[in-house]
Structure 1
Amino acid sequence: MVTGNDEREKHELKQILVIESEIKELGKLKYFLGIEVVYSTQGIFISQQKYVTDLLAETGKIGCKPVSTPMDPNHKLGEVKEKPVVDKRMHQRLVGRLIYFAHTRPNITYSVSVINQFMYDPREPHLQAAYRVLHYLKGNPRKGILLKKNNTLVLEVYTDADYAGSLVDRRSTTGYCTFLGSR
C-alpha cells in the first residue's frame, strides 16, 4: 500500500518497488485487513461493517437486540470469584477482535479496555459485558471514521481521569484523545 500527497514521489517509489520485487498495481484501496475504505468529495471514510457482521454471526449474536451504549454507564465490573468461569480462549479471542474494532470505532475503546482487564480469569459478568459491546455494534454497524479533506492543521488534545475508580485495585483510569486537523 503506497500513500501520500506527492504524486511524483509516489510514482518514483512504485517504479523502484517494481524493480526490486514483484508488485501489482491494484488501484485505489478498497478493503484492507477487515477495514473498508470509501472515497468521497469530503474525504476518506473507513469502517469495519463486514467485520462487525461476521463477528455477530460467529458469536450467534446476529439477531441480538441493539443497545444504545457499549457499556452500562454505572458499571461495576470487577473480579467476581463467585461467578461461573467462562471459556478463556473464546473470551480472549472475542476481546481481541473487539480491540481490533477500536481502530475504526474509538467509541468502544473504554468499554473494551475495562473488559480486557479480566482476560486472565474471565467470568460470566465479563463475557456479558463483551456481549453488550456486540449488541452496541449491532445497532450501528456502519459507523466509522471520516478522514476529512482539508489543509488545516489544528492540534486538539482532550483528557479525563477518574479517581480510584477501579474496583479491583483502586487505581485511577486516565484517557486521552488527540486530533490533528480540523473537525
Structure 2
Amino acid sequence: MKESGYKQSQGDYTLFVKHLAARGVIALLVYVDDIIVTGSDERENHEVKQRLATEFEIKELGKLKYFLGIEVAYSSQRIFISQQKYVTDLLAETGKIGCKPVSTPMDPKYKLGEAKEEPVVDKRMYQRLVGRLIYLAHTWLDIAYSMSVISQFMHDPREPHLQAAYRVLHYLKGNPGKGILFKKNNTLALEAYTDADYAGSLVDRRSTTGYCTFLGGNLVT
C-alpha cells in the first residue's frame, strides 16, 4: 500500500489512506483476510483492487453489507449501520433472549463502587461479557458511559457489577436494531459537545467527562 502512495494511519495501523488532490480520497482497511475499500474516486478504487489482485488471490464481494458484526444498509441519501445480529447472538449466548427490557442502560440513582463485601463472580465470564458490550458501543453510543463504569471492575468483579452488565443487556433487548444514521448533507461543519460530572467516582473521586463530535450533522465520535 505504501508503494502505491498510501499512508498508514498512526491511530490504526490497519488503515491506509491516499489523497488524490482534486479527485478526493481513498481509504483501505484490513482485518486479517477481510478488506474494505472506499472513497470518492472510482478509477483509483478500481486500480487499487487490480494492484491487490496481482499480489494476492482476492475475491470481490461487492458493496459492503456486513463486517465484523456491523451491518450496513444504504439508500441514495443515507447510510445506516447497526449490530442487530450481534445483539441477538449476545442475548442468546447469555440467556437473556427472553428478558424484560428496561428504558436506561444504567440505574441513574445507583453508583457502582468496588463492593468488596459482595460475592465474587466468574472473572473470565465477566471480562468476556464486558468486552463484547464495549465492541457493541461502536453503534450503540448511549451505552458508552455504562461501559466506562462497568469496565473499571474487570480485575475484581462482584455481583453488583455483573448485575449492572446484565442491565445493559436488558436495555439492548428493547430495540436490538438500533444504530447510527449518516445522512448526506450540504455542509461539513464540525461541532463538538462535552460535559462532565465532578468527583463522581466512588472508587477514586475522579470526574468523568463525556463528549460527542458531529461532522456535517453526523455523529463521528
For the aligned pair, the TM-score class normalised by the smaller chain equals over 0.9
In terms of mean alpha carbon deviation, does 169-178 or 120-129 score higher?
A: 169-178
Candidates 129, 137, 141, aligned match of 1:94: 129
TM-score, normalisation: structure 1: 0.97
CA distance in structure 1 between the partners assigned to 2:142 and 2:182 by the alignment: 16
Taking the TM superposition and a 5 Å limit, the aligned residue runs for 1:12-161 are 12-161=47-196
SS at 1:166 equivalent: coil
Query: Where does the alignment leave 5 or more consecutive residues of structure 2 unmatched?
Result: 1-35
CA distance in structure 2 between the partners assigned to 1:120 and 1:153 by the alignment: 42
Candidates 187, 202, 207, aligned match of 1:172: 207
Q: What is the aligned length?
A: 183
What is the percent sequence identity of the aligned residues?
84
Matched, 1:162 2:197: yes
Opposite residue 94 of structure 1, the aligned amino acid is: L
Opposite residue 12 of structure 1, the aligned amino acid is: E
Higher normalized contact order (CA 8 Å, seq sep 6+, divided by chain length): 1
| Higher helix proportion | 1
Q: Following TM superposition, by how much is the alpha carbon of 1:42 offset from its aligned partner in structure 2, in angstroms?
A: 2.9
TM-score, normalisation: structure 2: 0.81
Q: Following TM superposition, by how much is the alpha carbon of 1:40 offset from its aligned partner in structure 2, in angstroms?
A: 1.4
CA distance in structure 1 between the partners assigned to 2:52 and 2:204 by the alignment: 51
Q: Which runs of 4+ in 1 moved over 3 A?
A: none
| Higher strand proportion | 2
